[in-house]
Structures are given as C-alpha cells and as structure tokens.
Amino acid sequence: MSALTWITVGSLAAWLWLLLGQGFFWRTDVRLPERRPPAAWPPVAVVVPARDEAEVLPSSLPSLLAQDYPGKAEVFLVDDGSSDGTGELARALAAERGGLPLTVASPGEPGPGWTGKLWAVRHGMALARERTDATYLLLTDADIAHAPDSLRELVAAAESGGLDLVSQMARLRVATVWERLIVPAFVYFFAQLYPFRRINRPGARTTAAAGGCVLLRSDAAERAGVPDSIRQAVIDDVTLSRAVRRAGGRIWLGLADRVDSVRPYPGLGMLWRMVSRSAYAQLRHNPLLLAGTVAGLAVVYLAPPVAVVAGALTGGTAALAAGAAAWAIMAGTYVPMLRYYRQPLLLAPLLPFTALLYLLMTVDSAVQHYRGRGAAWKGRTYARPEAAP
C-alpha cells in the first residue's frame, strides 16, 4: 500500500475510535439534568465582567434584569476600563427596564499578574460578598442573553444534583457565511476535546466549563481559591473548572437551549482572532503539542478528502475507499451539531475545510506568541503563559 493509503487507513481507524470511544462527543443531547424546585430558593449574585460592550449590552443586560427568579438575586456589572460608555449604558438600561437590582462598578486597571476579565470577576465577587449572602454566583459574559427562567433552571439543577458548578455552552450567533462555516465547528471541536458526558461523571479527570454561563456555588469558589488561584488564565473557563474539581467540587457542562450569545462575528477576521487569541495557550505554549496537533488535524481531517481525490485520479481504490469511509463518518458526526445550530446539513462534508482553517489559526496563534504579541483581546495583550491552578 502507498503511504497515502496507510495514512488514510489510520485516519479511518481514528474516526472509528472517535465515533465510539470519545464519550459520544458528537451527540448534542446533553442538556440541563433532571431538576426540581428547591424547598427554598437560595440567594444569587450575578457577576458580569464587561469591557467595551455597548454594542451588545442592550440585547443582553435586560435579559438578566428580567430574570423570573423566586429567590433573592442581584446583578453586579463590572466595567473593565471601557471606552465606549458601557457603564453609563448599563445604568440607563436598568433605569429604563427595571427588574433585578443592578450595581455598576469599576475596579481600575488589572493588578500585576491578572488578566482583565478575571480582575473584573474578582471585583464583582468581592462586591457580592460585601453586599449579599449569595449561595451561588452566576458568572456570565456581557454578550450573553438569558431566557427569563434561565437562572431558576440553573439553580434548580445545581440544588437537585448537589452540583458545585453548572455551566451551559451558550448558542453562538450563526448568521453570516463565515459564522456558518466556523461557529458550529468551534463547539464541535470543543466537545471533541472535552466530551460532556465524561466531564459530568463524578470524579472524572476530564473537566471544562463554558465561560459565558457558569453557576458557581460560593463556598466551592472559596475552597478552590477562585479567582485568585487562576488569575493569569487566558482560557479562564477551563482553568476555573479544574480548580473547582481539584478542590473536590462536582461539575456539570452541557449545551444550552435558551442561553444565546448576541455577539456578531460577521467576517473571517473577527472569527480568526476569537480562535487564535487562545489556541496556543490551549496547547500550554508547547511546540511539541503544537506539532502533534497540526499533524493530528492533517491526518484525521485532511487526509480523507485528499485520499478520495487522489484515488479517483489515480485509480487507487484502497485509498479512495478508506478516505470515503473516514469522510463519511466525519460528516455524520458533524450532523447533530449542524442540526443544533439549525444549519443546512450540506455543510457537513465541508468540515475538512473548516478544520484546515482551525489548523492555520492555531499555527498563527503560536506565531504571534513567539513574536512576543501573546493573546490579545480588546486592546490588551497577555504574553505570559497561563498559571497552573
């Protein structure tokens, strides 16, 4: 057999293993677990770090203020050095819409060793401790819109299951051509790295969270030393979940039904920056892991279509058959995610092209790191590696 045939057979074997042995990552039925209303609804503090979010705040903040929660709840929006009037707009929206009490505060520039978002979260958590007796903290991003019963359902799930951290991966916006190509795949790849079913097993080693929507028990945060113990984290959600689990906490992660990101990513450039800003940090800034990831993506995602085309042109039936089978499994595992995002199933065979884009984004992330630019977001650059929790 030719080298391409061997590589393609390896790709097919990898896809058979991914189909059956990687926690059924491709299924999209992991939603909030069975829950029942608690006898008494515990108090909750909602912490929203926000930096230059005036564009999306009118679509997100009112949904938090309008939460239909039977217990006591209060919202703390922390304006992280915005230059677009985010804080003033938040106050105006609260005055206009009413609802849950809102406190807007600003902690100033991040302290040494802190990322901006976690510095804002630290300030919001400190305010919550001073002003409330919150049993839970809802950490949610400023671009996330919640259905009116979102907080109630999260708390019910945590109370029913004895969970310390409940996180839902918000449904990201999918409207433009580039969003259709890249966004569902972003969640698909995340689930492949962090299979939800494995994460949700008690005592599991695999752990992750989705930073846009995290309900965290206050005493679990204290046991884990959060957020101080993760203050340098660029990928703060995964690092948070590791800290909570290491402190003995129980974690649940799944897809959301009515928690949505309202942030637009209309062009390839914005999506590219979203992925590349943290891709190399995900690989722990390790060149060997980078090389392995690039090789793995090439073998698993790119080899099958190459083998199909090469086999069709040269008459190599073995490579063509193995490539077609691997490509079919790949596309089939992508179908549930496309359905979840209500996208045409014809996009499924294009997953190798999307994987190529992610490969290039990952390489670009490493290039920017070695040029000394680090992870950049909203005018800040984080050149230092993540601290271990």
Handedness of CA 156, 200, 337, 191 (dihedral sign): positive
Exposed e or buried b per residue across 333-369, where buried means at least 16 C-beta atoms within 10 angstroms of its C-beta = bbebbbebbebeeebbeebbebbebbbebbbbbbebb
Q: What per-residue confidence (pLDDT) applies to 191?
A: 98
Amino acid identity at 247: A
With CA atoms as reference, report the closest residue to 255 among 181, 205, 206, 199.
199
Residue 378 has pLDDT above 50, yes or no: yes
Handedness of CA 194, 196, 197, 200 (dihedral sign): positive
Q: Residues 50, 86: contact at Cβ < 8 Å?
A: yes
> Which band of pLDDT confidence, cut at 50, 70 and 90, is reported for residue 231?
very high
Segment 126-153 mean pLDDT? 97
pLDDT in tens, 92-106: 999 999 999 999 999
With CA atoms as reference, report the closest residue to 364 among 299, 302, 271.
271
Query: Which has more confidence, 125 or 388?
Result: 125
With CA atoms as reference, report the closest residue to 140 among 227, 212, 190, 245.
212
Q: Whole-angstrom Cα distance, residue 88 to residue 329?
A: 51
Can you give the pTM of this predicted structure? 0.94
Q: What per-residue confidence (pLDDT) applies to 215?
A: 98
Instruction: Indicate the SS3 state at residue 163.
Output: coil
Segment 249-273 mean pLDDT? 96
Segment 228-242 mean pLDDT? 94
With CA atoms as reference, report the closest residue to 143 among 236, 211, 217, 68.
211
The proportion of the chain whose per-residue pLDDT surpasses 90, expressed as a percent, equals 89
Helix (H) or strand (E) holding 295: helix 287-297
pLDDT in tens, 266-276: 999 999 999 99
Q: What per-residue confidence (pLDDT) applies to 203?
A: 85
pLDDT in tens, 331-348: 999 999 999 999 999 999
> Which band of pLDDT confidence, cut at 50, 70 and 90, is reported for residue 376?
low
pLDDT in tens, 171-217: 999 999 999 999 999 999 999 999 999 999 988 999 999 999 999 99
Q: What per-residue confidence (pLDDT) applies to 384?
A: 47
Q: What per-residue confidence (pLDDT) applies to 377?
A: 59
Q: What per-residue confidence (pLDDT) applies to 385?
A: 45
Residue 389 has pLDDT above 80, yes or no: no
Q: What per-residue confidence (pLDDT) applies to 65?
A: 98
pLDDT in tens, 140-176: 999 999 999 999 999 999 999 999 999 999 999 999 9
Q: Whole-angstrom Cα distance, residue 66 to residue 148?
A: 6
| Cα distance from N-terminal residue to C-terminal residue, the chain | 47
Q: Whole-angstrom Cα distance, residue 198 to residue 222?
A: 25
Q: What per-residue confidence (pLDDT) applies to 330?
A: 98
Helix (H) or strand (E) holding 331: helix 317-340
- Looking at 127-182, which runs of residues are DSSP E strands? 136-140, 144-146, 165-171
Q: Are strands 213-217 and 165-171 parallel, antiparallel or unpaired?
A: antiparallel
